[in-house]
Amino acid sequence: MPGARRTLLLAGYVFAVLAPMAFLLVSRPGEGLTAAIAFAAVLGFAALVVLALQLVLPARARIFTEPFGIDVLLRFHKEMGIAAAGLIVVHVVVLMVDDPSKMSLLNPLSAPWRAVAGVGALVALLLLLASSTIRQRLALSYEGWRFVHLTLGLVVVGASVAHVLGVGRYLALDSLRGVALLVVLAAALGAFVLRVGRPFAAAGRPYVLEEVRAEHGDAVTLALRADGHDGLRFAPGQFAWLKLAHAPYALSEHPFSLSSSAEDPRYPQVTVKALGDFTARARELAPGTRVLLDGPHGSFRPALPDAGYLCVCAGIGITPAMALLRTLADRGDRRPITLLVGNRTPRDITFREEVDALRARLDLDVVHVLSRAGDDWPGERGRIDASLLARVLPGDAAARNVLVCGGASFADDVARALTGLGVPASHLHVERFA
């Protein structure tokens, strides 16, 4: 069923992009609508629809997040932003090649307002893409980047709609106005749900920070307690966005995997590594601080409900696997589990002592792999790659549910290696940390 839902949603996305274009092509052309202008109009309108959907897909609606996962949606969001910029550039080039005199439309001092709006949308989109690509070099904080990203995104969509409406009136394409209105309403709804609707819902279900617990690997666990409600019912492998309760509508929020057992939703925990911005300050939060959780999110659903598990993690990527281990232990579930964890040194192994203790409660086999092991290290050395996997995988790996979690390059490399070793892609769930 998840595969069917993904196919249906992808078909709906393609339809949303192509249907208005087809409607435009079959509508009665206005005066001066040559073949080149019609083609450019189709490209421009396709870009508008894609840009509007850019505000809908990240709204964290479960209809999208459950079949795909947030990480896939955000990667798709980035790629389609680049695609929209490409469509707009080609749109402009076609118009200039068809009639070089239209180069004057690029001059904001003499061009009509509809052209200024179109050029403004393209410039804002290029700035948005640049700020996302070189955020670290610009020394933009995560919160600052989100503000820039949202502001430029709204400018892009607003200017694009103004351009389409202006051009539609100029070319007597009245049919564009109604479709453009629907597009902007969809975009506005997506932005409203994400920035107002979800924070409002989370504010009604606050949590209290009960403990800030230091972990190995420069990580910290934030242990929470539901304040006046029944907590967060989640499945192992899912995550939530966390923000401080005193500013529910602020842009400062961060996604963290839930690391606690799903058996007690009143006391969720997240474990984070100090990598910058909020994560570096998390250990400074005082017990008693009120926080909000937007979740759960995540698409991990065991492909084989009764089978064992294989978890391959790197560094702090162990957190969703830890939620799985704790949950199965609390349920008394003795199905076989193999945990492969990559770190640099022994002191970087988050949850090392608890994982060792869980062996008494689970049918658990643990393989630690260190890239900077000392001479006294008795375990595996190097990195988790295809050769190591071929050596240490359980014999029934192809018949298990597989969870891979770590940085994007690690997760992609391990996923390719596992499928190359005979693990069906349908059994794999990959979480990419950024």
* pLDDT tens, position by position, 348-399: 999 999 999 999 999 999 999 999 988 888 889 999 999 999 999 999 999 9
Task: Report residue 32's pLDDT band, with 50, 70 and 90 as the boundaries.
Answer: low
**The 269-273 sheet, strands edge to edge:** 254-257, 239-244, 290-297, 207-215, 219-226, 269-273
Same fold, 207-297 and 309-433: no
Mean pLDDT of 9-20: 83
What is the model's pLDDT at position 370? 95
What is the model's pLDDT at position 420? 94
Cα separation, 191 vs 184, whole angstroms: 11
In whole numbers, what is the pLDDT of the chain averaged over residues? 87
Q: State pLDDT tens for residues 255-283.
A: 888 999 999 999 999 998 876 667 677 88
Q: Are 56 and 187 in contact (CB under 8 A)?
A: yes
What is the model's pLDDT at position 232? 94
Q: State pLDDT tens for residues 279-338.
A: 677 888 999 999 999 989 887 888 899 999 999 999 999 999 999 999 999 999 999 999
Cα separation, 236 vs 4, whole angstroms: 23
Task: Report residue 99's pLDDT band, with 50, 70 and 90 as the boundaries.
Answer: confident
72 vs 280: which has the higher pLDDT:
72
Cα separation, 258 vs 4, whole angstroms: 28
Task: Report residue 208's pLDDT band, with 50, 70 and 90 as the boundaries.
Answer: very high
What is the model's pLDDT at position 2? 61
Identify the architecture of domain 207-297 in CATH. Beta Barrel (2.40)
What is the model's pLDDT at position 82? 92
Task: Enter the CATH code of domain 309-433.
Answer: 3.40.50.80
Asked if residue 180 has pLDDT above 80, the reply is: no
Measured torsion, CA atoms of residues 205, 74, 146, 287, in degrees rounded to the nearest 10: 40
In a 3-state reduction of DSSP, which class is residue 425? helix
Question: What residue segments make up the domains of the chain, in order of their start?
Answer: 2-202, 207-297, 309-433
Q: What percentage of the chain reaches a pLDDT higher than 70?
A: 92
Residue 246 gets which letter from DSSP?
Answer: T
Task: Report residue 160's pLDDT band, with 50, 70 and 90 as the boundaries.
Answer: confident
Mean pLDDT of 43-57: 85
Q: Which residues lie across from 101 on neighbouring strands? A: none
What is the model's pLDDT at position 187? 79
String of b and e for 377-407 (b: at least 16 CB within 10 Å)?
eeebeeebeeebbeeebeeebeebbbbbbbe
Task: Report residue 12's pLDDT band, with 50, 70 and 90 as the boundaries.
Answer: confident
- Give Cα 111 to chain centroid, integer Å: 39
Enter the pTM of the model. 0.83
What is the model's pLDDT at position 286? 93
Asked if residue 177 has pLDDT above 70, the reply is: no
